Chains A and B, each alone.
Chain A
């Protein structure tokens, strides 16, 4: 079965620090990859997605992610975080032939002002 690993369960950063959240998946075939964000008390929002093409994907709010097929990874990055980026971040994967999402356990990001 497909699995998704997010290496950091909690990350604490100061404002303006750079961010990288790790995500690795287990499936060796063609995948679709997603990062979702959930602000405190709010619903899931799509940050960015990768289906094919340029492995460097840009999303909303200055986030980007890089798909590295050889490493089964899809790490999320942001050059300079803001206090408003405090949220839970979920990596998710679907196999290209199916629509069911497999989520990682999430990473809680706390940005101190």
Chain B
């Protein structure tokens, strides 16, 4: 299995809802990432987990809460979002170790989130 999967593909939520995005990989990768991408802009890094521990939080508002239950799974819990949080949320993973090739990131298809 050489892909990163994300569910759901699309999500529409109100500002008072609580929802979660899910990301899964079975490549044995030890780093996982959440990115936010607005239309016609590059992805912006939100969080990095290395060996299941949060290693980078790019000053993301607390209404976004990441979780890494195990080395294959990464969740992003959403609560009290704002309309400006509407975007494509991308998950990625990378092997780590193994020299420079360990830094290559493999991206999932993303979840397109709309906040009403």
A interface residues (Cβ-Cβ under 8 A, vs B): 30, 32, 34, 36, 42-46, 49, 51-52, 88, 90, 94, 96, 98-101, 103-106, 108
**In the assembly, what is the distance between CA of A25 and CA of B88, in Å?**
26
In the complex the two chains form, is A51's CB within 8 Å of B45's CB? Answer: no
CA distance in complex: A90, B107 (Å): 13
Residue numbers in B under 8 Å from A44 (CB-CB): 43, 90, 107
Per-residue interface assignment for chain B, residues 72 to 116, with 1 indicating a CB less than 8 Å from any chain A CB and 0 otherwise: 000000000000000010100010100111111111111000000
Per DSSP, chain B at the interface is mixed
Known: A43-B109, A100-B45. A106 touches B56 (CB 8 A): no
Do A100 and B101 touch across chains, with their CB atoms under 8 A apart?
no
Partner of A43, one of B42, B90, B94, B96: B90
Nearest chain B CB to A63 CB, angstrom units = 17
List A contacts of B45 (CB < 8 A).
100-101
Point out which of B50, B94, B105, B108 has the most chain A C-beta atoms below 10 A from its C-beta.
B105
Residues of chain B whose beta carbon lies under 8 Å from any beta carbon of chain A: 31, 40-43, 45, 48, 50, 56, 88, 90, 94, 96, 99-110
13 A–B contacts from the bound complex (CB under 8 Å): A30-B100, A34-B104, A36-B107, A43-B107, A43-B110, A44-B43, A44-B107, A51-B99, A88-B40, A94-B103, A96-B100, A99-B96, A104-B42
Given that A43-B108, A99-B31 are known contacts, is A32 also in contact with B100, CB under 8 Å in the complex? yes
Q: Contact partner of A99 among B43, B103, B107, CB < 8 A?
A: B103
Chain A's closest residue to B93 (CB) is: A99
Chain B residues, Cβ within 8 Å of A34: 104
